Copies of this chain bind each other. A is one copy, B any other.
Amino acid sequence: MSLLVEKTTSGREYKVKDLSQADFGRLELDLAEVEMPGLMACRAEFGPSQPFKGARITGSLHMTIQTAVLIETLTALGAEVRWCSCNIFSTQDHAAAAIARDSAAVFAWKGETLQEYWWCTERALDWGPGGGPDLIVDDGGDATLLIHEGVKAEELYEKTGELPDPASTDNAEFQIVLTIIRDGLKTDPSRYRKMKERLVGVSEETTTGVKRLYQMQANGTLLFPAINVNDSVTKSKFDNLYGCRHSLPDGLMRATDVMIAGKVAVVAGYGDVGKGCAAALKQAGARVIVTEIDPICALQALMEGLQVLTLEDVVSEADIFVTTTGNKDIIMVDHMKKMKNNAIVCNIGHFDNEIDMLGLENYPGVKRITIKPQTDRWVFPETNTGIIVLAEGRLMNLGCATGHPSFVMSCSFTNQVIAQLELWKEKNSGKYEKKVYVLPKHLDEKVAALHLGKLGAKLTKLSKDQADYISVPVEGPYKPAHYRY
């Protein structure tokens, strides 16, 4: 790959689609700031003391307008930042341009190839000779994964001289990861271990990334402390739920302009993301059918008047299919063959393995007609009917629209800032071991509180007497840890 890093006049590195879109990006950044009261409050509260002075932060997180406000909050608090997207389609090029020009090193554009994607991730982690970042802001865990795989390979190589073998895996993307590491090993056989040494910790944004972290914690392979931001209530019960309720129909409309009312929609998975998607589709006038493995979530769907069936029951009847499971192999090519002409198939889960894109691409005689970028019609030879796949099976709300709106991302990202501050503050205290942590409830409540004023809300105050009666402090936190909201 012959990608070249470019430099701003001030010497900061970047690689974006078109730096001339920076002005447009700045205008939208200005609008977004008004919608992100939590981040702006962080700037006001922490900006003066520059708590991130000296900290290098690498982010791997959709390079959108909202993320741009996050990045500029980190820099406003003193950090130096390098950034890449965590999805090949999720970058908003004008956002990347504005940040590249004004604030941080950015390596991201909409429509990266997988090779380019991992090149960008490498660049974001590459802080030059002095090792890697102090902190990582991760979404889905790809930056974390690269370091862990790198360290593993270096240790093996040191012991046995064995290099990673891309041919050892079927997974096309993991082949690229192994190639990168292999090639890097030749130049610097301790690069990832140096990174690991320097790293204070990671804060992880999403369900899928968190799942990976807990697996590593369970296996004892986690190399540095991690804060699970996803499971802050003000993240998972807001971003995942209300964000998707907003951005799923947005993506459907921008990609297909199809009328949702009157259609039959299948939502695979009824977690927070699935709940948001199902609510949006139902409210838009679709008849929604849920597929679930978990009887509790299934019963919740039923209580909302949704039908719970298996994909097989409805595959030939439904008009719209959305995967939200965080699992793999949900909609296979055999399902797709049975669908109605022009059925829409899309995924809003983090990874692109919910829909069997490989099976589709390899289906004998299948024809792909690109209506417009991220909207493809795939025609089966037997029936000459086709299905419409959005964003090549990747996150459709970021691929086909602009992701979640600013206000709800302000909740998520305020958690990120708080998590990063916490990791950095405690970098030498030993408070955080190589484990996964969630933020304490009083910080969660604080994030929420920062977002009430913008919406004109007024909180009731507990009297001391009332607080004692329910055994909580007057100023909170107000709920036990196990409370589900």
Interface residues of A (CB under 8 A from B): 24, 27-28, 31-32, 34-35, 65, 211, 214-215, 218, 231, 233-234, 236-238, 241-242, 245-246, 249-250, 253-254, 256-264, 272, 282-288, 291-311, 313, 317, 326-329, 341-342, 369, 371-372, 377, 388, 401-402, 404-408, 411, 438, 444-446, 448-449, 451-452, 455-463, 465-466, 469-471, 476, 478-482, 484-485
Question: A459, B259: Cβ atoms under 8 Å?
Answer: no
Pair B238/A293 contact, Cβ less than 8 Å: no
Chain B nearest CB: distance from A314 CB in Å? 10
The docked-state distance in angstroms from the alpha carbon of A246 to that of B261 is 8
Contacts known (A305-B282, A327-B466, A484-B484); A452 close to B295, Cβ less than 8 A: yes
Q: How far is the CA of A346 from the CA of B349 in the complex (A)?
A: 33
Determine if B27 and A371 form an interchain contact, defined as CB atoms under 8 angstroms apart: yes
Q: What are 7 inter-chain pairs, A to B, with CB distance below 8 A?
A: A24-B371, A245-B284, A254-B254, A263-B455, A288-B305, A295-B446, A328-B469
The docked-state distance in angstroms from the alpha carbon of A286 to that of B287 is: 12
The distance in angstroms between the C-alpha atoms of A371 and B218, with both chains bound, is 49
Check if A310 sits within 8 Å of B455, measured CB to CB: no
Known: A303-B242, A307-B287, A327-B466. A484 touches B236 (CB 8 A): yes
Specify how many copies of this chain sit in the oligomer: 4
Shortest Cβ gap from A367 to chain B (Å): 13
CB distance from A214 to the nearest CB of B (A): 7
For A342, the chain B residues whose CB sits under 8 A away are: 31, 34-35
Residues of B within 8 A of A457 (CB): 298-299, 301-302, 307-309
Most buried by B among A303, A304, A470, A476: A303
